[in-house]
Structures are given as C-alpha cells and as structure tokens.
C-alpha cells in the first residue's frame, strides 16, 4: 500500500504547528514556490489521525501547484490542514495561533478558505498575518470564491462543447449537475440563462427543489445523476466520482465540473479517454476561485474585472490541453499534468539562469 512518504515527492517544506493553549494542531505543506508564493486553502477537518492529515495536505498542496501552473498564475502550490472538528474546536484563539504559524513562513505560504473554513475565519487569521486571502469584501478580501469558480467552470464547459460539437452554445444541450452548492447552483444558473436543459441531484432536497422551480430542472436520485443520458455530466460535489463503477455507466460525451479530485485514481483519466469521453481536467476548469484569491496579492489590490478576465482564459487553456492530448495521444488528464510540469520546469530553469546572484 502507498504510505505517506511516497507522497512526499518534491515538496519544498512541511511545517507542523502546535499551540496547546489554543488547541491548535496544523500542518502546512509547500509543494513548490517556483512560480511564486504557495497559495492554497486551509482545510479544517476531524482527521482520524495525524498520518491521514499529512497524506491529505501533501496531496492537496501538490494539486495546488499544478492548478496555479496551468492557470498561468505566478503562484506556487501549498495547502494547510487544521486537525479538529470545525464546529466544536474553532475558536478565535485557535485561528489567531494559526495565523501566527502562517506569518512565521514570511509569505512563502498564503492561505485561503477550504472545507471547514469561511471568509469570516480568514478575517480573524488575517489579524495575525498579511498572508491570508478570501475574507469578505467588507474585511478587505474578495469574498466567496464560488462565484468565479462557477463562472470558470461554465466557460470551461462551453470550451468542451465547442471542441466536441463545433459550437459552444449551451442552448438545448442537456447538462446533468451533481451538487447544487455554492458552485453548482451558480453554474446551473449560467447554463439556464443560455437555454440548457438541466438535470440535477443533491443530498439537500431544498436545493434541487429550487432548481426545479426556478430553472425548470429535472431531479434524479443521487446514485443516478452520473448515468443520465446527457451531453455533459458536471460533478460539483464530491471527489472520486469517476471510478471503476461509474465510468462504465456514463452516458455523456463530456465530463466538466468543479469538484476537486474527480478521478479516483490517475488511471481513470485514461479510462475516460478510452471510453471516448472528453474530460476537462478538474484542476484546470475549477481554477476560477484560485484566480480570484490570487488576485488579492496584486500590488494594486483585488480587481474583480481583472480576475474575471483571467478566469475567462480557462476555456483557451482547456482547448490547448485538448490539442496536446491529441498530439501526444495521451489522456486530457495526463496532458494537463504535462502542461503544469513544463511551465514549472521552464520557469525554474529561467530563475536559475537569469536571477542576479548576490555577492
């Protein structure tokens, strides 16, 4: 079985933070700062043990490096986990102690929201460190990153339609959306405006009822949504939804959604390609949120217009990845990894070559 150390591949730095008085136990993993400061959210989660937390943070920080690289951002990849139950254990003292751990890294790691952390938390963390993004607009942040994540996913989904049908319009296309949360609901709204037919599923019946009433969507059972006979299956809830059980049941031509880690294993990217299904690599299509919080680091402060314009490039990036996949006869998931690795390698070489050396 794969142990945690096989995941410790090329990470620049891993920091354990403890503050017993504040009840803080956290791990910050910096996969790479080759392209810039390592930006990634803080996951506050009741991990069964520290090994599970370590495995998660190593994996997630690497994914952030690849996401930033493919999005053309001058950002590296990092992630942090706080071990604990966010409902029971989250206090101002804990968040401030966590902010001090981040501050001690001097800007090599920049944090944001993730599972279990919210804009209000980032405002508290931000009292101890400059290196926290994703607070509410009133607190000087850019607010809910679901807005640009959904917009980027919509743009990316249209790029997939263009690739397959020669027309990017969602009009009369049938899209099956799994998960009607912050991202899924906004995605559904964009597609509805364009005239798409929607089928949705969510564990929360109030959310699907809203789609039925306001967007004319059909609702199906949780275990049926991936198998709907639609043009596009759009996962916006869970990771691991593309696996040995679901892939043979897919009836769609395209998989394009925002959920992180959609492929249960790397080989499922190949399985989709073999099935003739166009897969928009998750970390490419869902980069809008990262683009949004990354924009907060701009020297002039956050610009919604600039972040939106950058997010619109997700479509072009996907088309380039699809071309590369064709050229090399590899899956689109593999092609995305190559694009990220090439950019990090090229910028890494450039840095070594061009940066003036200190005397």
Taking the C-alpha atoms of residue 333 and residue 165, their distance in angstroms, rounded to an integer, is 20
Are residues 216 and 198 in contact, defined by beta-carbon separation less than 8 angstroms? yes
Packing angle of the helix pair 182-193, 205-215 (nearest 10 deg)? 10
Q: How far is the CB of 348 from ligand NAI (least distance, A)?
A: 26
The answer to whether 61 contacts ligand NAI (rule: CB under 6 A) is: no
327: enclosing H helix or E strand: helix 314-328
Nearest to 227 by CA among 247, 248, 243, 249: 249
Q: How far is the CB of 157 from ligand NAI (least distance, A)?
A: 14
Q: How far is the CB of 226 from ligand NAI (least distance, A)?
A: 10
The answer to whether 180 contacts ligand NAI (rule: CB under 6 A) is: yes
The answer to whether 294 contacts ligand NAI (rule: CB under 6 A) is: no
Nearer to ligand NAI, 216 or 239 (CB): 239
56: region left, alpha or beta (phi > 0 left; psi from -120 to 50 alpha)? alpha
Of 56, 121, 128, 202, which one interacts with ligand NAI (CB under 6 A)? 202
- CA 318, 323, 326, 327 torsion-angle sign: negative
Quick one: which segment of 27-35, 95-103, 174-182, 306-314 binds ligand NAI (CB under 6 A)? 174-182
Are residues 30 and 102 in contact, defined by beta-carbon separation less than 8 angstroms? no
Token representation of residue 255: 């998989």
Query: Could you give the residue numbers annotated as active site?
Result: 79
Residue with nearest beta carbon to ligand NAI: 181
The answer to whether 32 contacts ligand NAI (rule: CB under 6 A) is: no
Nearer to ligand NAI, 148 or 339 (CB): 148
What are 350's strand-pairing partners?
none
Of 16, 193, 195, 222, which one interacts with ligand NAI (CB under 6 A)? 222
Residues 243-272 that bind ligand NAI (CB under 6 A): 258-260
346: enclosing H helix or E strand: helix 332-354
The answer to whether 203 contacts ligand NAI (rule: CB under 6 A) is: yes
Nearest to 329 by CA among 273, 267, 280, 285: 273
Of 238, 275, 316, 346, which one interacts with ligand NAI (CB under 6 A)? 238
Where does this chain bind ligand NAI (CB under 6 A)?
A: 145-146, 149, 178-184, 201-204, 207, 222, 236-238, 258-260, 286, 289
């Amino acid at each position: 079985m794969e142990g945690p150390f096989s995941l410790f591949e090329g990470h620049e730095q891993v920091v354990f933070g403890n503050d017993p008085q504040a009840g803080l136990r956290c791990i910050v993993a910096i996969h790479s700062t080759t392209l810039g400061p390592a930006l990634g959210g803080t996951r506050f989660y009741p991990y069964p043990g520290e090994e599970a937390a370590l495995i998660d943070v190593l994996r997630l920080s690497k994914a952030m490096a690849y996401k930033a690289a493919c999005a053309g951002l001058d950002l590296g990849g990092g992630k942090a986990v706080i071990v604990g139950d966010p409902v029971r254990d989250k206090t101002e003292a804990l968040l401030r102690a966590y902010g001090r751990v981040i501050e001690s890294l001097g800007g090599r790691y920049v944090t944001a929201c993730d599972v279990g952390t919210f804009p209000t938390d980032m405002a508290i963390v931000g009292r101890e460190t400059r290196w926290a993004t994703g607070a509410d607009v009133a607190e000087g942040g850019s607010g809910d990153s679901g807005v640009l994540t959904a917009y980027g996913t919509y743009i990316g989904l249209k790029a997939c339609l263009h690739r397959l049908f020669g027309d990017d319009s969602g009009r009369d296309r049938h899209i099956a959306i799994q998960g009607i949360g912050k991202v899924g609901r906004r995605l559904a709204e964009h597609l509805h405006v364009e005239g798409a037919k929607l089928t949705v599923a969510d564990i929360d019946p109030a959310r699907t009822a809203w789609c039925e009433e306001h967007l004319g969507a059909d609702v199906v059972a949780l275990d049926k949504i991936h198998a709907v006979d639609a043009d596009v299956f759009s996962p916006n809830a869970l990771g691991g939804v593309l696996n040995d059980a679901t892939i043979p049941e897919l009836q769609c031509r395209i998989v394009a959604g925002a959920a992180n880690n959609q492929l249960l294993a790397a080989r499922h990217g190949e399985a989709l390609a073999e099935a003739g299904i166009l897969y928009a690599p998750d970390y490419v299509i869902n980069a809008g949120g990262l683009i949004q919080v990354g924009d907060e680091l701009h020297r002039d402060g956050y610009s919604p217009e600039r972040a939106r314009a950058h997010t619109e490039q997700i479509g072009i990036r996907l088309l380039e990845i699809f071309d590369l996949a064709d050229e090399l006869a590899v899956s689109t998931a593999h092609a995305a990894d190559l694009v990220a690795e090439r950019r990090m390698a090229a910028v890494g070489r450039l840095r070594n070559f061009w940066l003036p050396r200190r005397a």
